[in-house]
Structure 1
């Protein structure tokens, strides 16, 4: 679990609510159903209008990366590639067939199978690069759903504020109705700006960072597999792949 994400969310909301309390406010003043409906419903509606169904589905999958990112072990990956190269040196490329059958990573398994099939290095690069860039693009598009929601939320908060003020102006003769309208006006703005900057935009950036790290891991596998195909020394392969380390 990514503890930093949890700490970040808790710290952000504690800071906002704590500051409100120190200024003499209370939490109840920030709870407003109509304002939440306007901001959350409007933001989701805009996102649904913007993104295709497959992108929305992917965004629903990758959001779990905020707390449960996929395990990306670059050092372990380098060790695996080196072991593959040693197997290929001792037993030939066909010796990797049993390794490919046991491989859990789909990307690595495809690369190993291409080696076993005797594909040329350029063909291997072409095939694996398509997979790499397609997956990266899919994940970045999913992250942009949250990024776009972070752009819509403050504006929709302003819409909520204007609606609240319209309600206030329409009830100037009835002071009992002024409070709810003013509350919606100000709380909707807080919700819009708060959701965007405390949740949506950081979520988008976190998903992009994980997607790019996954791509770097696959690039490392790609270079390693190509090096094996070209018959490079295992030690040389290890030194080359260490350049992918943080």
Structure 2
């Protein structure tokens, strides 16, 4: 589990709640709960997003919330080590020996690239096939991030709609001055809910998914360059130095513990 996502959400709601409790006490929290306001803000926001997206993409995007909580281990140095090992196998035993080595690889993208190389596919065609798949993977990731960006956009808008409804109801009962204050408070709750939805949930989820997508895309770019270098028969040491360019300086030393890199 991605502990940063959990801590962020818990901390956000904790600070929100504590700001109320420190001023009004525990009973003060009850004043910030209003079921109709929740319904119009959250329901309206997701209804608008549903109009924008086809049903299958809407459901798929909703499921993506689990990705924000999933701790995906990104080991760029490990991927490069695997590629260097494959290059050593290819150099000593030939490209056909990579087929057996591919059986021990879990990543489908890397395995697909290896099989293309083993089959003797033209290097330019290998690059085109893998980069095309990379483009479509990136496109799917952008669709999911865009979903949460739309939720962040619609949340405050529906919060304002809820506030307008509350104000209209309040203006309809001006004959009772004692009811104006409570009615105004309820009317403003929807604006608050919309801001919470946008700034504590939807926008952070969208940005988190973008970061995870960027990490995955970088790994796949490393795989493409590594596989093409193996197919070209380049020296494993040269391949290592080439792929190091994808790593931050602090990570480069992990490929060779005896070699120190500056930050």
Same fold (TM over 0.5): yes
1:76-87 alignment, distance < 5 Å: 76-87=78-89
Within the candidate set 215, 218, 228, 2:217 is matched to: 215
Give deviations 1:128-159, integer Å, cap 9, x for gaps: 00111100110111111001110110011010
> Do residues 17 (structure 1) and 17 (structure 2) align?
yes
* Residue of 151, 159, 162 corresponding to 1:160: 162
**Could you say what the CA RMSD is over the residues aligned between the two structures, in angstroms?**
1.6
> What does residue range 32-181 of structure 1 map to in structure 2 within 5 Å?
32-174=34-176, 178=180, 181=183
- 1:245: how far off? 1.6
Where do 4+ consecutive residues of structure 1 move more than 6 Å? Answer: none
Q: How many residues align?
A: 246
Q: TM-score when scaled to structure 1?
A: 0.94
Deviates more, 1:173-182 or 1:148-157: 173-182
Post-superposition shift, 1:54?
3.8
In structure 2, what is the Cα distance between the partners aligned to 1:57 and 1:221?
31
- List gaps (5 residues or longer) in structure 1: none
1:85-117 CA distances to partner (integer Å, 9 max, x unpaired)?
011111111001112233221101110000110
**Per-residue deviation, residues 210-234 of structure 1 (Å, max 9, x unmatched):** 0111000000000000100111111
Q: Which moved more, 1:68-77 or 1:217-226?
A: 68-77
TM-score normalised to structure 2 length? 0.89
Distance 2:177 2:65 in 1: 44
**Structure 1 stretch 149-158 or stretch 20-29: which is displaced more?**
20-29
Structure 1 residue 21: deviation in Å?
2.1
* 1:32–1:183 Cα contact (<8 Å) kept: no
